[in-house]
Amino acid sequence: MKIKNIKFKNNINEWTNCSIYFPNLKNQTNNSKPFVLLIHGFRAFKDWGFFPYFAEKIAEFGYFASTIDFSLNTLIDKEKCLFDMERFSKNTVTQEISEAKLFCSLLKNQNFIDEEFEKFWNGEIFLIGHSLGGALAIMTAENLPTVRKLVTICSIFDFDIYTERQKEDWLKNGFKEFTDSTTNQKIRLDVNFLLDRLTYSGEKSLTSVVSRLKIPYYILHTEADATVSPKAATILANAVSDKNLMKMEIIKSGNHLLNSSHPFKETNPVLEKIIKNILDFFQTTKKRFYGVLSW
């Protein structure tokens, strides 16, 4: 499989890195391949756990696929999942959304990836977001006409996930610190991380954006998710205005990480079911979505 790593300068003059997974284009004569962007969640990265495997399976099915690393989500040890905390602490939701949107916009530029991509990409983008990445995917989809389908997996439904006491202490101290139970790294988040999230309310809230979406939207959640309650899926589903464009599914036995870990060792039934269901969703035509197909 052809995998190409690219990078681009973003709005803060930093590098955003992406990996592009190519389908088998041998003997292909028409440009009929959608582009699928996978967006990771908090404390993850483009090569975390199942993401490369996920992208490979999408490419094997016949689509272009990509994973993305946001510029301030900087790793110092990929195997141990350790981040450059000075940079990581300055990241915001707005910054990550801007980089995802910019990436989607740059795909149309000549020679951004390569001639093979330009020849075979059909101009459509499908978004898949996991956890916080689901929320980022929702925000990225808004007002981008090239985005034609959206999938969120174990997504949050609100950027403001903190208690009033947590927010008071955060604002008072100017930062928030906690220890990652998996890596034992002390995570530090500046106050701007919180202030930025709090701007996504009212018309900018996730549920408001979801209510304005006019594209097919597949909401997936795992039944045993102890990090983000499956109730979040129901809240997102209820926010969809046109229910003919929406499908929601709760996957039994799966946890927040889709029963996977990092480093990735092998696949599992939950991950395989999610990949298969998403690929089935991608094949569903626009005509079938308008009331003909019953979920």
DSSP string spanning the chain?
Answer: --EEEEEEE-TTS-EEEEEEE----TT--S--EEEEEEE--TT--TTSTTHHHHHHHHHHHT-EEEEEE-TTS-EEETTTTEE-HHHHTT--HHHHHHHHHHHHHHTTSTTSS-HHHHHHEEEEEEEEEETHHHHHHHHHHTT-TTEEEEEEES--S-S--S-HHHHHHHHHHSEEEEE-TTT-PEEEEEHHHHHHHHT--GGGSHHHHHHH--S-EEEEEETT-SSS-THHHHHHHHH-S-GGGEEEEEETT--TTTT--SS-----HHHHHHHHHHHHHHHS-HHHHTTTS--
CATH of the domain at 35: 3.40.50.1820
User: What is the DSSP pairing of strand 147-153 with strand 217-222?
Assistant: parallel
Q: Read off the pLDDT band of 136 (50, 70, 90).
A: very high
> What is the count of structural domains for the chain?
1
- Closest listed residue to residue 125, CA positions, set 153, 106, 97: 106
pLDDT digits (tens, 9 = 90+) for 207-245: 999 999 999 999 999 999 999 999 999 999 999 999 999
Task: Taking residues 123-151, report their average pLDDT.
Answer: 97
Task: Taking residues 268-276, report their average pLDDT.
Answer: 98
Backbone angles phi, psi at 131, to 5 degrees: 60, -125
| Mean pLDDT value across the chain | 94
Please indicate, yes or no, if residue 154 is contained in any of the structural domains. Answer: yes
Q: Read off the pLDDT band of 294 (50, 70, 90).
A: very low
- Closest listed residue to residue 209, CA positions, set 141, 275, 163: 141
> What whole-number distance in Å separates Cα of residue 6 and Cα of residue 188?
29
- C-alpha pair distances (Å), 142 with each of 77, 136, 137, 145: 34, 10, 9, 8
pLDDT at 287 over 60: no
pLDDT digits (tens, 9 = 90+) for 179-212: 998 899 999 999 999 999 999 999 999 999 999 9
- What is the reported pLDDT for 30? 76
pLDDT at 291 over 70: no
Between residues 284 and 294, the one the model is more confident about? 284
By the 8 A CB rule, do 171 and 194 touch? yes
Please indicate, yes or no, if residue 169 is contained in any of the structural domains. Answer: no
Model confidence, pTM: 0.95
- What is the reported pLDDT for 249? 97
- What is the reported pLDDT for 293? 37
Please indicate, yes or no, if residue 276 is contained in any of the structural domains. Answer: yes
* List of residues 6+ apart from 50 with CB closer than 8 A: 257, 258, 260, 264, 267, 271
Please indicate, yes or no, if residue 186 is contained in any of the structural domains. Answer: no
- What is the reported pLDDT for 285? 59
150: containing domain: 3-159+193-289
pLDDT digits (tens, 9 = 90+) for 33-87: 999 999 999 999 999 999 999 999 999 999 999 999 999 999 999 999 999 999 9
- What is the reported pLDDT for 284? 83
- What is the reported pLDDT for 65? 98
Task: Taking residues 3-25, report their average pLDDT.
Answer: 97
